[in-house]
């Protein structure tokens, strides 16, 4: 492919995206990943590249072998890989352009829209796991760093303009965060003890990763694909089991309310862990760090709101 035009697409958060038109006039979507900030794919750039390649190969298998047309998978490079390493830190993947209307994270779907997404997930969860599928862990990556940070709240944090504000904000939410970590441990023990089977999960099937076109929904951003409980995906569709009835109709499996609660809490703790590591490391003030700060405050507020609903507290 020889690009005729390339334009930056300021969408998403974390990766960098471009819209590309080739010499034949065909549109493509190019994504460059910063491997030093891809912890869910692996710790360190080299491990993250390997994990990202496994994830993208899994997406290709689901689309090409299993015929899941809603999977937006990358096109292979000349040497057959799904991801090309640009250097030691950055990697490139190219995807077909998908025409349609994209959603936003946090957007609430209608009942009909939700059922359409559940139909996709039922198909995905029923597929034989590809050999390349990455494993997943219940404990969020970086949670140990959160415990470490909670033990160093009396020390001055350095590294950048958000370091001290992050310490102060974490200190304000320390009691709630410790309680949430303890609750997560209890839920994890309970869910593990049930020994439910694992399935192929996308990891982040929220509206921000959905594109609605003429053929229905397409699901993008497969770097989080992994072997896990179905509730990993279902918890992002709804926390109310009654709204997941279509999934039960299609699969015969009733979602586990404890596992739903576990994965929703895991999502918030994962966000906090990523932001804590970011602001305790070397960083500058930029558009990305400004956005990250907003995400950090929102994640802590969500944990506080959840704790208030469970305990009846209105905040401290």
Per-residue pLDDT tens, the chain, 316 aa: give them. 567 788 888 776 668 899 999 888 889 999 999 998 888 899 899 999 999 999 999 999 999 999 999 999 999 998 899 999 999 999 999 999 998 998 888 788 999 999 999 999 999 999 999 999 999 999 888 899 899 999 999 999 998 999 999 999 999 999 999 999 999 999 999 999 999 999 999 999 999 999 999 889 999 999 999 999 999 999 999 989 999 999 999 999 999 999 999 999 999 999 999 899 899 999 999 988 998 999 999 999 989 887 644 443 333 3
Please tell me the predicted confidence (pLDDT) of residue 287. 85
For residues 22 and 1, is the Cβ–Cβ distance under 8 A?
Answer: yes
Q: What is the DSSP letter of 133?
A: P
Dist. CA 274–CA 154, nearest whole Å = 21
What gap in Å lies between CA 5 and CA 97, rounded to an integer? 14
Separation between Cα atoms, residue 305 and residue 316, nearest integer Å = 11
- Name residue, tokens 């309970």: 190
Residue with the two structure tokens 């899941």: 68
Separation of alpha carbons 310 and 305, rounded Å: 9
Burial string for 83-104 (b: 16+ CB within 10 Å, else e) reads bbbeeeebbbbbbeebeeebbe
Buried b (16+ CB within 10 A) or exposed e, 51-65: bbbbbbbbbbbbbee
Distance in angstroms (rounded) separating the CA atoms of residues 99 and 37: 29
Please tell me the predicted confidence (pLDDT) of residue 315.
Answer: 33
Q: How far apart are CA 115 and CA 251, in angstroms?
A: 13
Spatial distance between the Cα atoms of 123 and 108, rounded to a whole number of angstroms: 22
Do residues 281 and 256 make contact, with C-beta atoms less than 8 angstroms apart?
A: no
Phi/psi zone of residue 233: left (φ > 0), alpha (ψ -120 to 50 degrees), beta? alpha
Domains, the chain: 1-97 (3.30.200.20), 102-316 (1.10.510.10)
Q: What is the pTM of this model?
A: 0.90
pLDDT value, residue 6: 86
Residue 273 · residue 145 · CB < 8 Å:
yes
The pLDDT, as a whole number, for residue 8 is 85
| Nearest residue to 93 (alpha-carbon basis) of 41, 23, 25 | 41
Q: Locate tokens 């918890």: which residue?
A: 235
Are 33 and 90 spatial neighbours (Cβ–Cβ below 8 Å)? Answer: yes
Closest-CA residue to 238 (of 264, 262, 216, 218): 264
Tell me the C-alpha distance between 144 and 298, whole Å: 21
> Radius of gyration of the chain from Cα atoms?
20
Alpha-carbon distance of 77 to 43, in angstroms, equals 25
**Cβ neighbour number for residue 169 with a 10 Å cutoff:** 18
């Amino acid at each position: 492919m020889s690009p005729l035009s390339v334009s930056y697409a300021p969408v998403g958060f974390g990766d960098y995206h471009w819209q590309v038109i080739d010499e034949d006039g065909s549109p493509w979507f190019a994504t460059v990943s910063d491997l030093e900030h891809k912890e869910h794919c692996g710790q360190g750039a080299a491990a993250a590249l390997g994990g990202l390649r496994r994830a993208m190969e899994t997406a290709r298998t689901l689309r090409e072998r299993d015929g899941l047309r809603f999977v937006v998978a990358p096109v292979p490079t000349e040497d057959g890989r799904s991801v090309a390493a640009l250097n030691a830190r950055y990697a490139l993947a190219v995807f077909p352009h998908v025409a349609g209307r994209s959603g936003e994270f946090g957007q609430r779907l209608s009942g009909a829209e939700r059922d359409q997404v559940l139909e996709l997930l039922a198909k995905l969860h029923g597929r034989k796991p590809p050999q390349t599928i990455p494993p997943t862990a219940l404990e969020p990556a970086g949670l140990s760093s959160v415990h470490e940070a909670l033990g160093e709240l009396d020390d001055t944090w350095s590294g950048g303009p958000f370091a001290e504000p992050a310490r102060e904000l974490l200190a304000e939410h320390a009691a709630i965060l410790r309680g949430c970590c303890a609750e997560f441990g209890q839920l994890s023990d309970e869910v593990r003890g049930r020994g439910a089977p694992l399935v192929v999960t996308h990891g982040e099937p929220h509206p921000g990763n959905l594109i609605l076109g003429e053929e229905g929904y397409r699901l993008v951003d497969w770097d989080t694909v992994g072997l896990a409980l179905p509730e990993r995906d279902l918890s992002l569709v709804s926390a109310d089991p009654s709204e997941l009835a279509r999934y039960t109709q299609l699969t015969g499996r009733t979602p586990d309310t404890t596992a739903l609660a576990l994965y929703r809490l895991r999502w918030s703790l994962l966000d906090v862990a990523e932001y804590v590591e970011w602001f305790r490391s070397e960083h500058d003030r930029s558009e990305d760090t400004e956005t990250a700060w907003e995400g950090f405050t929102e994640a802590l507020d969500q944990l506080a709101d959840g704790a208030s609903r469970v305990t009846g507290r209105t905040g401290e």
